[in-house]
Amino acid sequence: MLAIIGGTGFSQLSNLRITHRQVMRTPYGEPSGPMTFGTINQRELMFLARHGYGHTIPPHQVNYRANLWALRDQGATSVIAVTSVGSIRADLVPGTLVVPDQIIDYTYGRDFTYFDGKDKAVTHIDFTHPYSEKLRQILLAAVKSANETCVDGGVHAITQGPRLETAAEINRIERDGADMVGMTGMPEAALAKELGLAYATIAVVVNYAAGRGNSRDGVPLETIGTVMNPAMERVRNILERAVELNGD
């Protein structure tokens, strides 16, 4: 079954026919909120709002372990995550959709693995390719099916938050090779890999990163909504096609 994790600006799926909601408990605490179950075009799926349905959980306090555990516990085999990002690369103008293929992790202090107890064997996962290529291709096919456009590939830098970055930090992150920057996606992607879940992201560029474009004198937070809202509607259309193409 496919699960969708919604990020900032994406706390519900308007085209989801809800069948029920379920409060979950996991060995790692409570997820961000109740799991929403439903169908799109007769295809079953699950939905979870990463920041809570009232958007009250900041990126560094999301219980990523509980979220992914709960999704798998309820039968998810694939996870598509929606996230908002700032553009570092000049051609990624606000409103652009990106299906990234790489990650650079700048987060710290988050519970980032299921293998950290004294009773757990030392376990390493191969994270060469952090996203499922099969699921990425499904997303790209869904974009085409929905008559939308997106950028195929890109390096997604993930910072701690909740503050935005300085211009100097963005300069450093660009030198490291990143194309876009956000605050979620890690340890989410790694935890999905540990659980054997196929995981991919659709990133919505909602602003230029600090020191870029119209953010040279500061990120205009008050205008992000005007970009985010129509972009998220496009994402909903794409996800509807992705549900049909996933085949789970």
Q: Which residue has the higher pLDDT, 8 or 163?
A: 163
| Residue 14 pLDDT grade (very low, low, confident, very high; cuts 50, 70, 90) | low
83 annotated as a binding-site residue = no
pLDDT at 248: 59
Q: What is the pLDDT of residue 116?
A: 83
- Is residue 117 pLDDT above 80, yes or no? no
Residue 186, annotated as binding a ligand: no
Terminus-to-terminus CA distance in the chain, angstroms?
5
In three-state form (DSSP H/G/I as H, E/B as E, the rest C), the secondary structure along the chain is CEEEEECCCCCCCCCCEEEEEECCCECCECCCCCEEEEEECCEEEEEEECCCCCCCCCHHHCCHHHHHHHHHHCCCCEEEEEEEEEECCCCCCCCCEEECCEEEECCCCCCCCCCCCCCCCCCCCCCCCCCCHHHHHHHHHHHHHCCCCCEECCEEEECCCCCCCCHHHHHHHHHHCCCEEECCCCCHHHHHHHCCCEEEEEEEEEEECCCCHHHCCCCCHHHHHHHHHHHHHHHHHHHHHHHHHHCC
Residue 54 pLDDT class (50, 70, 90 cuts) = confident
Token readout for 34 is: 């109740």
Distance CA 54, CA 66 (A): 18
Which pLDDT score, from 0 to 100, does residue 174 have? 97
pLDDT at res. 10: 66
Q: Find out whether 143 and 238 touch, Cβ atoms under 8 Å.
A: yes
Q: Give the residue with greater pLDDT, 97 vs 216.
A: 97
Q: Which residues of 127-147 are buried (b: 16+ CB within 10 A; e: fewer)?
A: eeebbbeebbebbbebbeebe
pLDDT number for residue 83: 93
Q: Does residue 50 have a known ligand-binding role?
A: yes
Is 183 marked within a binding site?
yes
Identify the CA nearest to 245 among candidates 35, 2, 83: 2
CATH value at residue 27: 3.40.50.1580
Q: Report the percentage of the chain scoring pLDDT > 70.
A: 96
| Side-chain-facing half-sphere of 203: CA atoms under 13 Å | 30
What percentage of the chain has pLDDT greater than the value 90? 67
Give the model's pLDDT for residue 53: 81
Q: What residues make up the domain containing 151?
A: 2-246
pLDDT of residue 226: 85
How many distinct structural domains can be found in the chain? 1
Number of C-alpha atoms within 13 angstroms, CB side, residue 178? 23
* C-alpha separations of 180 from 85, 89, 108, 174, 234 in Å: 6, 7, 19, 9, 19
pLDDT digits (tens, 9 = 90+) for 172-181: 999 999 999 9
Q: Annotation-wise, does 209 bind a ligand? A: yes
Contact predicate 6/48, CB 8 Å: yes
Global pTM reads 0.93
Q: Does the pLDDT at position 5 exceed 60?
A: yes
- Cβ–Cβ under 8 Å, residues 202 and 238: yes
> Is residue 12 pLDDT above 70, yes or no?
no
131 annotated as belonging to a binding site for a ligand: no
